[in-house]
Amino acid sequence: MARSSASATWNCGSMRLEMTEDSNDIVIGDAFQISASLVCSYQPRSRVVRVSVPQAKWLSPQLLVKTLRVGDMIQQEAEEELGIFNVSRRTKMGGYLSQEVIMIRNPRKPWRIKLADCGRDICIMPFHVMYGTQLYLETTRAFAQHCLAVIKVKWLYLQHPKALRQLYIACVTSIADYASVIWWRGQAHFKDMMQSLQNLALRKILGVFKTAPIPPMEVEAGLKPSKIRLDSNIRQYAFRLAKLSPNHPINIEKASLIQYQANLDAISTPRRKRYKPTQLDKIKESINQDFNPSSLEKIIHFNFPPWKRETPFRVNISNSSKEDAAILHNIVFKHRDKDTTYIYTDASSTEKGIGIGVGIVAIQSNNRILYQERSNIGTNQLVYNGELFGVTRAIEYASSIAYTGQKFKIYSDNQAGLYRLKTPSDHPGQANQIRAIKAAEVIRAKGAEISLNWVPGHTSVEGNELADKLAKEATTIQPTSNETSFGLLGMTVKEYASDQWLDTLKQYELRSNQSPSTYSKLFPWKIGSKIKLPSGTTRNTASAFFQLKLGHGYIKSYLHRFKLTNNKCICSNIEAPQHLLISCPIYKTKRKEIFKKIPLSKNTIQFLLHTKIGIELAIKFINITKIATRAWHLARTLEQEVIEEVVVEEERGEENEEEAVEEIREGFDLLTIS
């Protein structure tokens, strides 16, 4: 449960829970006497409802209230237990609100509860609050008023560029792209509609002017152009189809189309109309150019039944830091048992090498190297696949020499590979998992023990360093396999979209304005999937930052193009983003305070607006000076108008004074003549 004040009280049914700012402990008050067993076995007394929680959980909790009521149990496909409870507390919206909270059971994070009457601590596995799925209600408010109150609380968060980007992806593109793998064929009218929708979203997300260039905005928002996104959807769908069972209806239809096309080619004549590819053909061919379908790694679907998901080996992964884990491992290795064999595995890829090299080394208790192995699994693999293969080969070697009472400890520096071997499934990497399980069962049948362990890499662990050396040497030997892993194929699909995006940006750069102050001339393209802003950045500051970076905003050099103002700063220099950030004397003091640790060579607009450290400093500078914000621009415009009026009045006063002096002189001259 998230705390909204220094002290908060929750009433869950008849149970009163209290949390203070000093501790994350929940204290059960005297209002309710309860035992640990009762809390652990607590179940809501109501019906069971099967639902699917929306992707943007915190955006649409009100959608659940029509199907759920207090005490309901929700069961998802993942068989996670959720419950909806009535929780009363005071919030910053004012008043005493009744809050419907969706809670999820999370056995890995128990709450510590103190019984107030006896002071005992008990650990239970209760229902945890799902992030953001909260529904605020009050008996005196209508539903529309409640919605307005929620919007008021959430609005500051929703205004942040990252939140707006998430909202656009979760609630707009998910609907706009619905079934796009069926209807998208590169149609120009669909492309224009989608791009217009994205252009509007980009301006809302970044808070920039309508004239801001689209490609730089897409880069800053981490959103691919709509055409590339739709093409990528088709490739991703084809990638998912490749992982499905051949007996899946889609794959059956795909096979029948291939056979139909082959039959047409066999009986074709010069007059016969050419076979027109279907959308399914387009989907299939979208990734076939990247690999040979016959070389793709094999998956045995439905190999592991739900009741048989345990492995015959333990997997131990320490939560300590790499340095602490390495020290502890070296101590244990130094005092190892004589019946324990340590086997280290590693995988590597080098620039000069070919494919993925795998190294295995087995060390006996007397520090003698018992076995070494080098192998190359080919060029169509990832280092991750090499780690899986190395651990599998180590288990197979251990099964060949195992005897009763012997212990094997196999070490790898890749946690993802160990987790994959620990979890039986029909996902990629299954072939190594099946081999590892069979070999481990042989070891157990011989009366030996085996465990898989994580050891940090490149931390002076002798066995790991030897395995790493063997793996690097293995990249120079001939590969033993031409199999293509799903991991490499998935990475290729993502890289293709990135390459397509970069090509689009290069074409834009060629036809864009050649002025040295444009975005494409100032900053190298950095495409990604995130907005590069530090957390806690306000909406106004974020908008000012992007306006400075794009050159379109409350800056006189930009407004001067539309004859709205002159292009001079108050300091009489041309007001441009670079001038405001780096050289304007008005902000010299603030600039020295914030940028004091930056060397003069790095005090450039490229560093301040295009690097992680520079962006943090630029955001801080904008926060303090308020440059490029609307309020800043309006305030200085008003100040300038006041100054101009004062100058005009002074000039008028000087003219009147000169006229009076002239009259006095004329009168004096007349007196003198007379």
Say which CATH number the domain at 438 has: 3.30.420.10
Out of 459, 483, 507, pick the residue that ends a domain.
483
Are the beta carbons of 1 and 133 closer than 8 angstroms? no
16 bridge partner residues:
11
Residue 577, in any domain of the structure:
yes
475 bridge partner residues:
none
Which run of H or of E encompasses 10?
Answer: strand 7-12
Tokens (6 digits) for 293: 């379908």
What is the C-alpha separation between 317 and 320, in angstroms, rounded? 9
**Which residue range(s) make up the domain with 466?**
314-483
Residue 29, in any domain of the structure:
yes
What is the C-alpha separation between 78 and 73, in angstroms, rounded? 14
Residues 115 and 238 in one domain: no
- 296-316 per-position pLDDT tens digit: 999 999 999 888 888 999 999
Are the beta carbons of 430 and 300 closer than 8 angstroms? yes
97 bridge partner residues:
89
- 262-282 per-position pLDDT tens digit: 777 666 555 555 567 778 888
Helices 214-221 and 188-206 pack at an angle, to 10 degrees, of 60
Residue 354, in any domain of the structure:
yes
Residues 146 and 74 in one domain: yes
Residue 268, in any domain of the structure:
yes
How does the average pLDDT of the chain come out, rounded?
Answer: 76
Distance of CA 267 to CAs 257, 261, 281, Å?
16, 10, 20
Q: Which residue has the higher pLDDT, 528 or 32?
A: 528
Residue 569, in any domain of the structure:
yes
- Phi and psi dihedrals of 313, rounded to 5? -145, 155
- 15-28 per-position pLDDT tens digit: 333 333 333 333 33
Model confidence at 334, pLDDT cuts 50, 70, 90, reads: confident
Task: Select, from the ranges 58-62, 494-498, 641-645, the one with the highest average predicted confidence (pLDDT).
Answer: 494-498
Residues 135 and 187 in one domain: no
Residues 334 and 456 in one domain: yes
First-last CA distance in the chain: 101
Torsion of CA 181, 187, 189, 192, to 10 degrees: 70
Give residue 91's identity as a one-letter amino acid code: T
Report the Cα 521 to chain-centroid distance in Å.
28
pLDDT for the residue numbered 21: 33
Nearest one of 75, 72, 69 to 52, comparing CA atoms? 75
Q: Which residue has the higher pLDDT, 564 or 344?
A: 344
- 102-138 per-position pLDDT tens digit: 444 444 444 443 433 334 443 333 333 333 333 334 4
Out of 443, 468, 483, pick the residue that ends a domain.
483
DSSP-derived 3-state class of residue 203: helix
Domain count, the chain: 4
pLDDT at 615 over 90: yes
pLDDT for the residue numbered 263: 76
Q: How many CB atoms neighbour CB 634 within 10 A?
A: 11
Lowest average pLDDT, out of 124-133, 322-331, 452-461, goes to 124-133
- Phi and psi dihedrals of 662, rounded to 5? -65, -40
Residues 472 and 404 in one domain: yes
Catalogue the E-assigned strands of 332-454.
340-348, 357-363, 369-376, 407-412, 449-454
Report the Cα 443 to chain-centroid distance in Å.
41
Residues 446 and 341 in one domain: yes
Residues 272 and 358 in one domain: no
Tokens (6 digits) for 588: 């010299």
Residue 200, in any domain of the structure:
yes
Residues 320 and 454 in one domain: yes
100 bridge partner residues:
86, 135
pLDDT at 453 over 80: yes
Residues 176 and 135 in one domain: no
87 bridge partner residues:
99
Residues 93 and 130 in one domain: yes
- 149-163 per-position pLDDT tens digit: 655 655 555 678 998
What is the C-alpha separation between 147 and 150, in angstroms, rounded? 5
HEC-encoded secondary structure of 277-319 = CCHHHHHHHHHHCCCCHHHECCCCCCCCCCCCCCCCCEEECCC
What is the C-alpha separation between 128 and 111, in angstroms, rounded? 9
Q: How many CB atoms neighbour CB 521 within 10 A?
A: 12
Residues 149 and 182 in one domain: no
Q: How many residues does the structure list for the chain?
A: 674
DSSP-derived 3-state class of residue 527: coil
Residues 254 and 341 in one domain: no
pLDDT at 213 over 80: yes
Nearest one of 75, 78, 83 to 129, comparing CA atoms? 83
Out of 119, 139, 158, pick the residue that ends a domain.
158
List all residues 6 or more positions away from 354 whose beta carbon is below 8 Å from its beta carbon.
376, 379, 475, 476, 479
Residue 599, in any domain of the structure:
yes
Residue 524, in any domain of the structure:
no
Which run of H or of E encompasses 27?
Answer: strand 26-28
pLDDT at 3 over 70: no
